[in-house]
């Protein structure tokens, strides 16, 4: 059974650019959630996708957007990058809504 | 609304001695509570979870936690620390059993240091 994978591992962007992060959910999982973890902080919920629709959203502006594909993989897009967007972005998948979430290793984004 | 407060940002214990990581929560409804561990450069791993069954929850690697509604606490313990326990630990609250539309709400983390 393949776990949650994320790509790329690391990414460096400049302020104002756009970035796309990718996540492959664990086999058999249909729900994907994204979290932002700033240095020295706990992860913060960005949004969740279920059956290709956004199912819930945390306190993040609209420039954070996402997609879920028919194979349940997902993308996180961030437009107009700001310095404060520098963080570890974590993807988690679960078999059903409300079930245990399994986390990927994360993508480290640095905005200069 | 729900929130989690981890009372210690750092805890240092000697190998072989007990571990206590403290967590208080706030939730408008009956919450589900979790402890996750994060080793450097690795993903978050679930240690244990409470979802309104037994109040004493046993997890992996010898960890356990007790849900105390009257104290709104969910402290994590281990009888004897091992060097491999050194990591960041997160207390987490959720309205759903695994994180519904509101996602998981994480505390700020407790860095556990194990002295040889």
Residue B98 has pLDDT above 60, yes or no: no
Residue B103 has pLDDT above 90, yes or no: no
Q: What is the mean pLDDT of residues B36-64?
A: 90
Q: What is the mean pLDDT of residues B11-29?
A: 94
* Cβ B38 vs Cβ B88: under 8 Å: yes
Nearest CB neighbour to B102, from listed A56, A99, A101 = A56
* Cβ B11 vs Cβ B91: under 8 Å: no
A66 and chain B in contact, CB less than 8 A: no
* Cβ B52 vs Cβ B30: under 8 Å: yes
Q: How many Å apart are CA A21 and CA A43, to the nearest integer? A: 16
Strand pairing class (B44-50; B32-38): antiparallel
* Cβ A36 vs Cβ A101: under 8 Å: no
Q: Which residues of B touch A44 (CB under 8 A)?
A: 106
Q: Could you tell me which residues of chain B have a Cβ less than 8 Å from any Cβ in chain A?
A: 36, 41-46, 49, 90, 96-109
What's the pLDDT tens digit per position in A35-74?
999 999 999 999 999 889 998 899 999 999 999 999 999 9
């Amino acid at each position: 059974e393949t776990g949650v994978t994320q790509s790329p591992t690391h990414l460096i962007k400049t302020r104002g650019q756009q970035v796309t992060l990718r996540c492959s959910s664990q086999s058999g999982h249909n729900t994907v959630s994204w979290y932002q973890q700033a240095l020295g902080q706990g992860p913060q919920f960005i949004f969740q996708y279920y059956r290709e629709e956004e199912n819930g959203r945390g306190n993040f502006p609209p420039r954070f957007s996402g997609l879920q594909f028919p194979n349940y993989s997902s993308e996180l897009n961030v437009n107009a990058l700001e310095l404060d967007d520098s963080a570890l972005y974590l993807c988690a998948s679960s078999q059903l809504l409300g079930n245990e979430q399994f986390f990927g290793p994360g993508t480290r984004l640095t905005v200069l | 609304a729900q929130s989690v407060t981890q009372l210690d940002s750092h805890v240092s214990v000697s190998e072989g001695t007990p571990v206590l990581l403290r967590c208080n929560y706030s939730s408008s409804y009956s919450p589900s509570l979790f402890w996750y561990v994060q080793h450097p450069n690795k993903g978050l791993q679930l240690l244990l979870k409470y979802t309104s069954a037994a109040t004493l929850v046993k997890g992996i690697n010898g960890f356990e936690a007790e849900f105390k509604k009257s104290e709104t606490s969910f402290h994590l313990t281990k009888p004897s620390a091992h060097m491999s326990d050194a990591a960041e630990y997160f207390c987490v609250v959720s309205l759903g059993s695994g994180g519904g539309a509101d996602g998981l709400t994480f505390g700020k983390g407790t860095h556990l240091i194990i002295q040889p």
